Amino acid sequence: MAYKGQHRCDSETCFDERRRNRRLSARLDIVVRLHTEKGVPGPVERASTDNISSGDMYFQSSLGDRLHIGDIVDVEIELPMRTSTIFTTKRLEARGQVTRIGTQSLEEPNRLGVAIVFLKPPAFHRAIG
């Protein structure tokens, strides 16, 4: 039995009871834009998620040396979609705040794990026109 604040694991999952949102382990393509102190868009990178929920996300980033806890990032999340005849993607957009900088990726040593909490829920991109 697990108590609040303890980890509970079985053969399929391992999660922390303190999490507010259930996480989905998914490798989704994302674009991350770091904002500077003056609100001007900063460096941009393509990355991929390790896991995501309705309230937060964890991904591998090559911006690790430029990211700090508290930084604001804009994220575009590409969702693969299939209609009856074609494959396409839809794009969710979100703004998040960096809450944790993790360790180096074993698969890609030049990348660090980054956790963000969404400042508002991700929403589908809407064309203006």
Q: Is residue 8 part of a domain?
A: no
- DSSP structure class, residue 105: P
Name the residue range of residue 29's domain: 23-124
62 phi, psi to nearest 5 deg: -90, 0
Closest CA to 81 of 22, 28, 23: 28
Structurally, the chain folds into a number of domains equal to 1
Residue 41 has phi, psi (to 5 degrees) of -55, 135
Q: Residue 68 belongs to a domain with what CATH number?
A: 2.30.110.10
Q: What is the pLDDT of residues 60-112, one digit of tens each?
A: 998 877 889 999 999 999 888 877 777 777 889 999 999 999 877 677 778 89
CB atoms within 10 A of CB 47: 19
Q: What is the pTM of this model?
A: 0.73
Q: Does a structural domain hold residue 12?
A: no
